[in-house]
Homo-oligomer: A and B are copies of this chain.
Amino acid sequence: MRDFTMENLTEIVHEEYVSKTSDPRLREIMGSLVNHLHAFVKDIQLTEAEWFEAVQFLTATGQMCDEKRQEFILLSDTLGVSMLVDAINHPRSGAGTENTVLGPFYVSGAPDLPMGSNIVKKDSGGTLAFVRGKVTDQDDNPIDGAVLDVWQASVRGFYDVQDPEVPQWNLRGKFTTGPDGKYCLATELPGFYPVPTDGPVGKMLNACGRHAMRPGHLHFVITADGYDRLTTHIFTAGDEYLESDAVFATKSSLVGEYQACEDEALAKEYGLQVPFQLLDFDFGLMRT
């Protein structure tokens, strides 16, 4: 019978999974998983105490999860895995707006709002901002009927689902373009904020000397018939965490430069008070 040793164990376990798994894609995944996982354990010569600490860490990470909290996504985010999966699945060759992570705070079913609406449902003392632009295809033609699903954290750094003091759908909304492809909305400048630090991932970041902050950003998921879904952010230029996003999701093409604006006509058209911060940002979608 076989004797398992450090020399042959990986090969035997790999062969066991590869030879018995009938689904070809699962076979590929399990074979690769065994090889990489064993290589990691050998590389660092994992001790039994460390192995048990890893077991406890993973267990606590699973047990931190509920309907509002996904600690394994946070772990994936903070280890750069979410961004890597994004890069693999959304390669951009200079055309179209770049993708970035969805993040754990997306909620489907946000209200459809008339173009130009203000998504602030409760004033948190933030700076008024007006964001506008157009949604176009690769040839710069406007896209009619593109739906922009927008959400963001308040100036205090919380999404509505984290903050019992704001109503549901605060700083969320869906906007649908017309034939000109244009969109616009009023909001407040998004705040930088820490990812949740009261769980195992927070302990990991702390032990590794990393801060938990994300630079302020607006989230967008933009969909239109015949086009690839675009999941992205607009980061706020000048944010102090732009160079050290805890989840590695920043891209220079996704930084928006807000400008102080005192345009009375614009303010009047959308019911705003001058001065406000104005951002022009266009999105390019790719045909499927």
Contact = CB atoms under 8 A, between A and B. Distances in A.
A13 B208 contact: no
Given A22-B209, A61-B58, A62-B62, A41 B81 contact: yes
Interface stretch (A84-92, A167-175, A280-288): A84-92
A108 interface: no
A39 interface: yes
A235 to B, nearest CB: 9
Interface stretch (A29-37, A131-139, A219-227): A29-37
Interface stretch (A1-9, A110-118, A156-164, A257-265): A1-9
A266 interface: no
Contacts of A48: 85-86, 89
Interface stretch (A71-79, A142-150, A190-198): A71-79
Contacts of A86: 48
A255 interface: yes
A38 B65 CA distance: 23
B251 A87 contact: no
Contacts of A1: 242-243, 250, 252, 255
- Majority SS at the chain A contact face: helix
Given A55-B70, A248-B9, A89 B4 contact: no
A83 interface: yes
Interface of A: 1-6, 9-10, 12-13, 16-17, 20-23, 26, 28-30, 32-34, 36-48, 50-51, 55, 58-63, 65, 70, 72-73, 76, 79-89, 91, 207-210, 242-243, 248-253, 255
A150 B22 CA distance: 39
A80 B208 contact: no
Contacts of A10: 80, 84
Nearest to A43: B32
A62 B58 contact: yes
A42 B157 CA distance: 33
A285 to B, nearest CB: 18
